[in-house]
Amino acid sequence: MPATKNALIRYRTIDKCLSNQARRWTLDDLIEACSDALYESEGVANVSRRTIQGDIQMMRSDRLGYSAPIEVYDNKYYRYADPDYSITKRPLTESDLGLMRQAVDMLRQLQHFDQFAKISDVVNRMEDELAITAESRKPIIHFDSVPDLKGLRLLNPLYQAIERRQVLRVSYQSFKARQPVVWEVYPHLLKEYRNRWFLFCTKCDTGQLHNLALDRIVGFAEVDGAEYRDNPDFDSEHFFDNVIGVTKDINAKPITVTFRASRHQTQYIITKPLHSSQKLIERCDDGSTVFQIEVVHNVELESTLLSYGAGITVLSPPQLVEKMVKNHRTALEFYDQAAAEQNF
């Protein structure tokens, strides 16, 4: 019989506890740890003593393939007899691999439908991981990721809160703040940009839309009994149509940005547009090319343009040209100072 989601959360929690042999774990400690994990992930608490005892027996058995060497010592404390054991290190069986291949095959079929088109890279990654496990070969696909990025642990519980339309009390500390602030918010959307995740939410008392970086969220809790409200001005499907990045005032209007790409950068920008609205306006005699994009003016737009260095020259609008000149002058001052210090 397959384990339920809550049971798997308890098994992983018990495994994490017993893998930490620097601490002595009583049954009550394991109950408390599992209760906290379930509450954070699923909003479920009050795990019974009998449930955790049953989980320990299940993990000791081979019914799930764990055969965990859990022992009791001093008639009170639990630990792994093998300090290097963990259920996460358990090798996949042929049966496991077969079931996973079937799941990947099913996903591969679904990706041909428009609504599942975006899962193609996920399926490729899963197929690659299965092949590595089954054939002990090196990977042939590599995806950008930051596995230890602070805040990733919040992804699943925040996803669950959005799905349940749950009002949240969030403790948030920006890079500029000395102390965190506490807001009550209606969470709407999780968005990834350059390997960082952001929560788009509406502040309950002001009705203003905010995006909170997950790595700056100190913690959050559900607000019991509070009524969830949608933000009628936030259309998550089209809100980012005219945005590079994640920063946008809800009433912001796009501007027309005209820029010239050098001969060396032109082909790169043609094959990898800065934005979906990008248009080629003019090919110049020196090999450079003039492009236009329709986007909101934000810090990510400036950062993207600056990342090309001398390869891009912004031609309009004037306020963006002025900002880019200021940024380049500041950078030049820093380089002049560094060169002087190094006697270049």
pLDDT value of position 202: 96
pLDDT value of position 75: 92
The pLDDT tens digits for 282-305 are 999 999 999 999 999 999 999 999
250 lies in a domain?
A: no
For the cut 80, the answer to whether the pLDDT of residue 157 exceeds it is: yes
Same domain, 213 and 156: yes
CATH for 265:
3.30.70
143 lies in a domain?
A: no
Lowest mean pLDDT among 121-130, 132-141, 257-266: 132-141
Q: Cα–Cα distances in Å, from 262 out to 62, 169, 244, 267, 286?
A: 64, 49, 21, 9, 9
244 lies in a domain?
A: no
Q: CA 36 to CA 32: how far, in whole Å?
A: 6
Same domain, 28 and 49: yes
Containing structural domain, residue 113: 94-135
Lowest mean pLDDT among 151-160, 174-183, 218-227: 151-160
* pLDDT-derived band at 150, boundaries 50, 70, 90: confident
Q: Where among 89, 109, 143 does a domain terminate?
A: 89
Same domain, 201 and 273: no
For the cut 60, the answer to whether the pLDDT of residue 111 exceeds it is: no
150 contacts 173 by C-beta, under 8 angstroms: no
Question: Which residues, 6+ apart, have CB-to-CB distance to 27 below 8 Å?
Answer: 49, 52, 53, 78
pLDDT value of position 78: 96
Higher-scoring residue by pLDDT: 127, 220: 220
Q: CA 43 to CA 194: how far, in whole Å?
A: 30
Q: Tell me the torsion sign for CA atoms 106, 62, 87, 91.
A: negative
Q: CA 201 to CA 167: how far, in whole Å?
A: 10
Lowest mean pLDDT among 6-10, 30-34, 277-281: 6-10
| Mean of pLDDT values over 35-46 | 79
pLDDT value of position 31: 94
Q: Where among 135, 162, 191 does a domain terminate?
A: 135
Element at 290 (helix H, strand E): strand 289-295
* pLDDT-derived band at 56, boundaries 50, 70, 90: very high
Same domain, 84 and 99: no
The pLDDT tens digits for 131-146 are 666 665 666 666 666 6
| Mean of pLDDT values over 298-326 | 95
Alpha helices in the chain (DSSP H): 5-19, 27-42, 49-60, 94-110, 120-135, 155-163, 263-271, 299-306, 318-341
Total number of domains constituting the chain: 4
Same domain, 99 and 85: no
* pLDDT-derived band at 23, boundaries 50, 70, 90: very high
Higher-scoring residue by pLDDT: 40, 97: 40
pLDDT value of position 94: 65
Same domain, 85 and 102: no
277 lies in a domain?
A: yes
* pLDDT-derived band at 116, boundaries 50, 70, 90: low
Same domain, 266 and 321: yes
CATH for 43:
1.10.10.10
The residues that bridge with 222 in the sheet, in sequence order, are: 168
* pLDDT-derived band at 1, boundaries 50, 70, 90: very low
Give the predicted TM-score (pTM) of the model.
Answer: 0.62
| Mean of pLDDT values over 104-117 | 59
- How much of the chain, in percent, has pLDDT values that exceed 70? 82
CATH for 184:
2.30.30
* pLDDT-derived band at 149, boundaries 50, 70, 90: low
| Mean of pLDDT values over 94-114 | 64
231 lies in a domain?
A: no
308 lies in a domain?
A: yes
For the cut 50, the answer to whether the pLDDT of residue 148 exceeds it is: yes
Nearest to 27 by CA among 73, 76, 85: 76
319 lies in a domain?
A: yes
79 contacts 73 by C-beta, under 8 angstroms: yes
238 lies in a domain?
A: no
pLDDT value of position 119: 63
Lowest mean pLDDT among 97-106, 175-184, 258-267, 329-338: 97-106
pLDDT value of position 222: 92
Question: Which residues, 6+ apart, have CB-to-CB distance to 204 below 8 Å?
Answer: 167, 183, 184, 185, 186, 226, 229
Higher-scoring residue by pLDDT: 242, 47: 242
Q: Cα–Cα distances in Å, from 28 out to 14, 39, 70, 263, 287?
A: 12, 16, 16, 68, 72
